[in-house]
Amino acid sequence: MKKESLQLAKNKKISAIAGTVLIVLLAVFLFSIIFSVTNLMSRLDDIRTHPFKVLDAGGNLQNDVDNVRLSFEQLKNINTPEVVADVREQIQVFYEDAERQMNIIEKRYLGDDSDVEALREYMAEMQQEQDAFLDYAAEADRSEEEIVSYSSEHLEQVNEAFDKQLEGILKYARQRFEYFYSAADRTSTNAILFACLIFAAVLITLFIYRRLLRWQTIRLRNQNQLFDLLSSTIDHVFMINELEHPERNYISRNAERILGFAPDPEKVSPEVLFDYMSSEDQEMIRQLFNTSGETYWSAIFHYRHPSLPEEKIFGLQTYRIQNEEQDRFVTILIDQTEMVRVQKELQTAIIQAEKANAAKSEFLSRMSHEIRTPMNGIIGMVMIGQQNIDDSQKVADCFRKINLSSKHLLNLINDVLDMSKIESGRMEINRTGFDFRVFLESLNNVIYGQAQDKGIEFEEILIGDIDETLVGDSLRVNQILMNLLSNALKFTPRGGKITLRITRTDADDTNLFLKFEVIDTGCGIAPENFDKIFKAFEQENSNVSQVYGGTGLGLSISKRFTEMMDGKITVSSQQGKGSNFTVMLPFGRIKQEEGEAHDFSRIRVLVADDDPDSLAHTKLLLRKVGAQADVTDNGYEAVAKTEQAQTMGDPYDLCLIDWKMPFIDGIETIRRIRSASVSERPAAVLMTAYDSSEIQEKSRACGAVQIITKPLFESSLTALLSELFEKKSGAEEEGGTVKGDFRGKRFLIAEDNELNREIAQELLSTTGALIECAVNGKEAVDKFAASLPGYFDLILMDIQMPIMSGYEATKAIRAMERRDADVPILAMTANAFAEDVEKSLECGMNGHINKPIDLEEVFTKIARELENKGM
C-alpha cells in the first residue's frame, strides 16, 4: 500500500510535469512560428526594399542611357541645328528619369556609398561630353565620319566607364538578392524542421500523459473495489452527503448490518439516526452542527439498536470537504461501545496514578525553571567578582547580589525539601512578614541582568503609598512575578521594554491590596488564546515551544498560586505590540513601630523624572516625610528651575535626578546644575532603576553626591535625607553586616567537608572566638574527651560525617561523666526536614542550623545558647 501511494504520488508529479511540458512545447511552437514568419517576412521585405529596388532602378537607368545613345545615332545622318535641338530635348527627358533612378539607387543600395558616388560622377561626365558632342554637331554640317570619329574619341571611353560602374552596382544588388533569398529559404526550412520536432515532442508527452492517466484510472477502479469490500466488512459506517446533489450521496454497504435498518442514500445525514437516539442526544447533535465556518465535528451518542437488546455507543465524526463547486460532508459512525467500557475501567486507575504523580511532575518542572534563574545570578556575579577582584566596591556589590540570589535559591531549596507536602497534593500558603523593598531589589537584580544581556529595557515602578513590610507568601509572589517576567523576557525582542508596575489599589488597617502589572513590547497573544495559556503544559501554539522553548507550566503555576492567595490574574494583549499581565493580590499589614522623629519640613527638593508614575510616586513619598517637593519631567527644565531658585535666593536643598531621560540624561543634568551652582546647595542625587555600578564613576565626575535605586521607598528616602541633612551621632555600623562578639569563647567545629569547614572557621573567627576543628564525629568526641572541663564553650556539629555521625557523636558526649557534658551543641547541616530537626533535639542537641548558613541566624542562636549557660 505504501509502495502504491509512493507510485501514485510519483505519477501525479510526472503528470504535472508532462502537462507543464506540453504547455511549454505548445508555447515554444507558437513562438517559433511567429518568429519564423516574422523572420521570413523580414527577409522578403529586405529583398523588396533593397536589391529589388536597386535592380529595377539600375535597369531603368540603363534604358535611359541607352535611349540617349540611340538618339545620338540619328545625328550621323542629319545634324542640322533643328535636329540637334530636338535631340537635346529628347535626352533631357531621359536624364530627368535617370536622375530619379539614381536617387533610388542611392537610397536603397546596401553596398559601399563610394560606388554610387562614382556612378553619379561618371553619369555627370557622360552628360557633359554628350552636351559637348551636341554643340559640336550643331556647329556645322558634319559628315557621318566626323560624327563617328568625335563620338569614338570623346564618348565611348566615358560610356564604357559608366556602363562598367553600373554593372558592378547591379551585380552587387543581384548578390544581395540571392543572399536574402537564401536566408528566407533557410528560415522556412528551419521552421518546418522545428515544427516537426515540436510535434514529435507533443506526441511523446501526450503518450506519457495518457499512459499515466490510464494507470491512475486502473488504480482508482481497484481502490473503489477495495473500498466497497472494506466498507462491507468493517464496523465503521461511511456516509457522503452532497446537499445540492442528493443523487450523488453514498452510504457504505455495511450500514444495514450495523444500524439495523437500511437508510435512504439520498437522505444520508446524522438526522436519519434521530429515531433511535434520546432527545438530549438529538439536541446535542443539532447544536453541534449549528455552527458556521467549521470543517470538523465530532460527538459521542447513545444508540438504541432496533434489532439488539443492548444499547450501543457510537462516535460521530463529520468532515467538511470544500471545493469550488460545493461543500461535501463525509460522516463516519464508529461503534465505541467496547472501547468506552474499557476506558471507564481504566479511568479510575489513571486518575489515581495522575494524582500521585501530578504534584511531583509539576513541582520538578517548575523548580527546573526557578532554580536556574538565581543560580545564573550567583554564577554571573562570581565571575564578575573574579574579574574585578581589585575593585572592592565592585566585589562588594557582587557579594550583595549573590546574597540576594542565594536567599532566593535557598527558599526554593527549602520548598524542595518539603517533599511530603508536595507528594500528598497539598500546597500551603505561608503568610509571614517580609521586607517588600528587599523583595523588589532581589527581583530587580535577577531580571535586570537577564534583560541587559538581551538588550531589553527593564523598569520597576511603584504607584501609591505601599508599606515596606507586608504579610504574605513572598516565595509564591516571587514565583508568580518571576514566571511573568521570564515570559516577558522570552517573548520581547532586543530593543524592547519590560515594565513591572505595582499599584496600591485599596487598603484598610489590616489588609493592603496590590496590583502587579508586567507589561512588555513583545510579540503579543491572540485573544482566542487568553484562556489556553493558563492551562498546564499549554502554550499559545506549537511554534512557541520550537522558537522560544519552555514547558508551558509557568503561567499555570502563576494562576494556581494567585488563586490560592485569593487573588486574580488576567491578561490583555495585542499581537505585534505586546502583552499586559495583571495580578491582583491581598497582603496583610504590620503595624509600623514609630521610628526616630525627623523634621524635613524645611528641605526643598526638586525631582526630575520623565516617567509620570515614578514622578508622582517620588513626590508622594517626599510629602509624606514632610519635605517640600517640586517636579519636572526633563533635564532642561530641572536646570532652569534650580537657576531660578538660586536667583530668587531660595535654592533647592536637594535635586533627585533620574538617569535615563530624553534630550539630556541625568548625568548631564547634574553636571549643568552643579556648574551653575554658587554653593554646595543643591546636593544632587542620581536616581536609577538599573545597575548603579556601571555609572558610579560618571556620577561622581558630574558632581552627584549619591546614587539611589528606584523604586523608592519611604525608608530609603528618609535615610538619604537624614544622611545629607541631619547630623550623625556615634559610630555607624556597616549597613547590612551582622556582627557578633564572642571574644574569649572557644568553639569546636565538627565538619568533614573541607570547604564548609573553612567557611565556618573564617566566619566565626571574625567574632573573636577561638576555633578548633574536627574532620569527623569520632575526632570531635576524642578532642572533647581530651580537653579540660569547660575548655569548649560550644560545639557546631555536622550530621553526615564518616566514622561517626553527628547524632552518634552528640550521644557519646552527653554520656560522658563530666560536668561540662551538657556543653551547647548545635547541628549545622543540610538536612532541613522537620523530622531532621526533631531527631537532632532527641539525640541531645540544643538547636539546629540549616545549610547554607544564614550568618545572622548562626550568631543569634550561638548568643542565645551562651546566654542560657550564663556565659
**Residue 459 β-bridge partners:** 499
Determine the structural domain holding residue 445 and report its residue range. 429-589
615 located within any domain: yes
Give yes or no: residues 202 and 258 share one domain: no
- Return the axis-axis angle of helices 635-647 and 666-676, rounded to nearest 10°: 20
Give me the half-sphere count of Cα atoms (radius 13 Å) on the Cβ side of residue 697. Answer: 3
Alpha-carbon distance of 513 to 567, in angstroms, equals: 9
529 located within any domain: yes
- DSSP secondary structure code for residue 869 in this structure: T
348 located within any domain: no
pLDDT for the residue 4: 53
Query: How many distinct structural domains can be found in the chain?
Result: 5
412 located within any domain: no
273 located within any domain: yes
Domain final position from 233, 263, 285: 233
Q: Which helix (H) or strand (E) holds 293?
A: none
Give yes or no: residues 192 and 68 share one domain: yes
Give yes or no: residues 509 and 621 share one domain: no
CB neighbour list of residue 840: distance below 8 Å, 6 or more residues apart: 799, 807, 827, 829, 847, 848
Give the start-end residues of each E strand in 219-326.
Answer: 236-242, 250-251, 296-304, 311-322
Cell of 224: 473503489
4 located within any domain: yes
471 located within any domain: yes
Please write down the long-range contacts of 834-839, taking CB distance under 8 Å and 24 or more positions apart. Answer: 836/799, 839/807
CB neighbour list of residue 604: distance below 8 Å, 6 or more residues apart: 627, 628, 630, 645, 650, 651, 652, 653, 654
CATH number at residue 280: 3.30.450.20
Give yes or no: residues 248 and 326 share one domain: yes
Give me the DSSP letters along 545-604: HHHH---S-HHHHHHHHHHHTT-EEEEEEETTTEEEEEEEEEEEE-PPPP------TT-E
Domain final position from 535, 562, 589: 589
Give yes or no: residues 160 and 147 share one domain: yes
Phi first, then psi: give them for residue 291, nearest 5 degrees: -135, 160
Phi first, then psi: give them for residue 597, nearest 5 degrees: -75, 140
Cell of 30: 507558437
Cell of 60: 531603368
Give yes or no: residues 819 and 698 share one domain: no
Give first-to-last CA distance, the chain, whole Å.
Answer: 91
pLDDT for the residue 110: 82
Give yes or no: residues 766 and 678 share one domain: no
Q: For the chain (length 871 residues), average pLDDT per consecutive 10?
A: 58 71 77 75 74 83 83 76 81 84 84 85 84 80 79 83 86 82 80 82 81 77 70 72 75 75 74 80 79 76 79 81 73 78 77 59 55 75 84 85 76 49 57 87 83 87 88 88 88 90 88 93 84 64 47 70 88 89 93 71 90 89 89 90 87 90 89 80 85 76 86 85 66 44 89 85 86 93 92 92 92 92 88 69 87 77 84 60
Give yes or no: residues 628 and 775 share one domain: no
Give yes or no: residues 241 and 183 share one domain: no
CA distances in angstroms from 556 to 215, 266, 573, listed in the order given? 55, 50, 18
Give yes or no: residues 501 and 542 share one domain: yes
Please write down the long-range contacts of 112-118, taking CB distance under 8 Å and 24 or more positions apart. Answer: 115/165, 115/168, 115/169, 115/172, 116/169, 118/165
> How many whole angstroms from its chain centre is CA 224?
47
Single out the residue of 778, 389, 448, 461 nearest to residue 615, CA to CA. 461
Domain final position from 312, 335, 358: 335
Give yes or no: residues 537 and 652 share one domain: no
- Return the axis-axis angle of helices 51-73 and 113-139, rounded to nearest 10°: 10
pLDDT for the residue 361: 60
Give yes or no: residues 54 and 190 share one domain: yes
732 located within any domain: no
CATH number at residue 628: 3.40.50.2300
Give the start-end residues of each E strand in 659-779.
Answer: 683-688, 706-709, 746-750, 770-774
**Residue 797 β-bridge partners:** 750, 827
